[in-house]
Amino acid sequence: MPYLLVVHHSPTDKLRGITDTILHAAEGAAAEVNSTLPGELHLEIRERNALEPDTAELLGASALLFGTTANFGYISGALKHYFDSTFMEVTNEDTYTAHSVLAGYWIRGGYDTTGAEKAMTAITTGYGWNTAVDPVCFTGDPEPHTTELRELAENTVGAWYAAVA
């Protein structure tokens, strides 16, 4: 069964709220597209804490969404740990077809997301993933960005659906 893997670091209520928005929107979009697909193609939504990397799960994902804070001009240490823990295995896997995997991300910063954005661009390029949709990067309160966050999740599911339908 195909799945969208949502990998995040959400240590605060505010960040958990962002992740919940993403998950809820992805689940709603998946339910909509699943109603048009045979059972074996139904898209599942999986959640992964960045501090608990699972290379096999990453290798099996049909689409990916990553969520992080911008800390000291970079991505969270937890998400960096996830990438550090999986990169060599994933990129050395002969059967892994990264170009067929759609990826997207969101970044929430306190005052700036520039360094974290550059890092995520470099990381997603390094893994060889295709960008499914434009990232959502913002500073401050997440509330004004709820629609963008929902659309990120929905459009990622939509991009996956367009590739399989």
> pLDDT tens digit string along 90-135?
888 777 777 789 999 999 999 999 999 999 999 999 999 999 899 9
Average confidence score pLDDT of the chain: 95
44 pLDDT above the threshold of 90: yes
Query: How many domains is the chain partitioned into structurally?
Result: 1
**Mean pLDDT confidence for 31-41:** 97
pLDDT for 11 equals 95
> pLDDT tens digit string along 132-150?
899 999 999 999 999 999 9
Sign of CA dihedral 66, 29, 131, 136: negative
15 pLDDT above the threshold of 80: yes
pLDDT for 96 equals 73
**CATH number of 115's domain:** 3.40.50.360
Structural domain harbouring 92: 3-164
Can you give the pTM of this predicted structure?
0.96
User: Which of the pair, 80 or 72, is modelled with greater confidence?
Assistant: 80
